[in-house]
Amino acid sequence: MIVVMKPGAPESEVDRLDAEFRSLGLSPEKIVGKHKTVIGLVGETVDMDALQLQDLSPWIEQVLRVEKPYKRVSREFRHGEPSEVIVSTPNGPVTFSQHAPVVVVAGPCSVENEEMIVETARRVKAAGAQFLRGGAFKPRTSPYAFQGHGESALALLAAAKEATGLGIITEVMDAADIEVISEVADVLQVGARNMHNFSLLKKMGAQDKPVLLKRGMSATIEEWLMAAEYIVAAGNSNVIFCERGIRTFDNQYARNTLDLSAIPVLRSLTHLPIMIDPSHGTGKSEYVPSMAAAALAAGADSLMIEVHPNPSKALSDGPQSLTPDRFDRLMTELSVIGKAVGRWDTRVPALI
Ligand code: PEP
Ligand code: MN
């Protein structure tokens, strides 16, 4: 249920109601919006009467029931107010939100060695990326494929962070690694293959780092929203959705079907920010720029692009990785659209 306060409701009244709701066995969450304060109520509300709750204060404008199975991540829970996921990085805080400039995350699929990760970090930073991505623990379809360098790759990510000040995003496959990964990562990624791993999702909710939640390759939008609800319900409201393509009947040309309609659909259903990953979405580097441009035009809050200094030699996902030079050009192309839709950070270096 959500309790919408009238504009100008005194803070003392909101606090009094907070205590009152707690005494009814509910967990209230206060959301201070631009115009109004909203109190989200979680708990056994099925038998509660909205009108009776409304009588608790003359400052209550409305009491609404959230009918969706996902509650805290739903757009209604914040009465339409988009949330902000603010990530602190050595270069300063970066905001993922509908009302913020688009955030670009770039880097190789896997961290291979120090030279390549530091070099890639320098290049993507110069082109305007705010985050470096790179897998240390890799979820691979084949047990015989390169599995990532694991813990030793975390030290290489730390070196790249030190050299550039970029924020770091890397995947957590096993809850046992959360602590060690958190020493270097600023955002923890849950990969497509783990979107349904509910015990991992609960653990992600019980730690403090923001979580990037990729869409399972055959997950419906509602299953994806419910996966985010697991994280938020467990205590961590900093979740970013990432569409990375869904299983397709026709994978002859593209690896997946990148569901760009997920942008307006999620926008209408959740207050949380939305990232698009055209690299895994298409599987081919030549298709990545068009899909990145389309995603930005369609309102994505963030983009994740795989970049490798020598894609033909990459240990994973070379065919979908851009060279640093192609990434430079892509950022210039994106800046045109980004400015047109009012989502481009003018501090991003302008490349010729
Ligand atoms: C990745 O980001 O490198 C990755 C493995 O992504 P996904 O989980 O979307 O396949
Ligand atoms: Mn990859």
Residues of the chain with CATH 3.30.70.1140: 2-65
Ligand 1 center from residue 67 Cα (angstroms)? 32
Q: Show Cβ contacts of residue 329 under 8 Å, excluding neighbours closer than 6 positions.
A: 289, 351
Output the pLDDT for position 347.
66
Angle, helix 324-340 to helix 114-127, in steps of 10 degrees:
30
**What residue's CA is closest to ligand 1, atom 10?**
192
**What residue's CA is closest to ligand 1, atom 4?**
191
Ligand 2 center from residue 203 Cα (angstroms)? 23
Output the pLDDT for position 35.
83
Ligand 1 center from residue 339 Cα (angstroms)? 29
Q: Which ligand is nearest to the CA of 213?
A: 1
Output the pLDDT for position 349.
60
Residues of the chain with CATH 3.20.20.70: 85-340
Of 148, 154, 147, 239, the closest CA to residue 201 belongs to 239
300, 131 in Cβ contact below 8 A?
no
Ligand 1: nearest atom to the Cα of 244: 9
Ligand 2 center from residue 205 Cα (angstroms)? 24
Q: How far, CA to CA in Å, does 183 sit from each of 11, 87, 97, 177, 234?
A: 37, 14, 25, 10, 21
SS3 267: helix
Residues of the chain with pLDDT under 70: 347-352
Distance of CA 37 to the CA centre of its chain: 25
Provide the β-strand partners of residue 270: 74
Ligand 2 center from residue 109 Cα (angstroms)? 4
Show the tokens assigned to 241.
């959705």
Output the pLDDT for position 348.
62
Ligand 2 center from residue 323 Cα (angstroms)? 14
Q: Which ligand is nearest to the CA of 140?
A: 1
> What is the architecture, at CATH level 2, of domain 2-65?
2-Layer Sandwich (3.30)
Q: Which ligand is nearest to the CA of 281?
A: 1
**What residue's CA is closest to ligand 1, atom 9?**
192
Ligand 1: nearest atom to the Cα of 280: 9
66, 105 in Cβ contact below 8 A?
no
Among 131, 171, 213, 224, the mutation site with the greatest number of ligand 1 atoms within 8 A of its Cβ is 171
Helix (H) or strand (E) holding 202: helix 198-205
Among 120, 277, 282, the mutation site with the greatest number of ligand 1 atoms within 8 A of its Cβ is 277
Ligand 1: nearest atom to the Cα of 192: 8
CB-side neighbour CA atoms (13 Å) of 27: 7
- In the CATH hierarchy, which fold is given to the domain comprising 85-340? TIM Barrel (3.20.20)
Ligand 2 center from residue 193 Cα (angstroms)? 12
178, 200 in Cβ contact below 8 A?
no
Ligand 1: nearest atom to the Cα of 194: 8
341, 140 in Cβ contact below 8 A?
no
Q: In the chain, helix, strand, coil percent, each to 5?
A: 35, 20, 40
Ligand 1 center from residue 191 Cα (angstroms)? 5
Distance of CA 156 to the CA centre of its chain: 23
Of 64, 60, 72, 61, the closest CA to residue 48 belongs to 64
Pocket of ligand 1 (CB under 6 A): 109, 135, 139, 191-193, 214, 244, 280
Helix (H) or strand (E) holding 199: helix 198-205
Among 157, 173, 189, the mutation site with the greatest number of ligand 1 atoms within 8 A of its Cβ is 189
Ligand 1 center from residue 348 Cα (angstroms)? 26
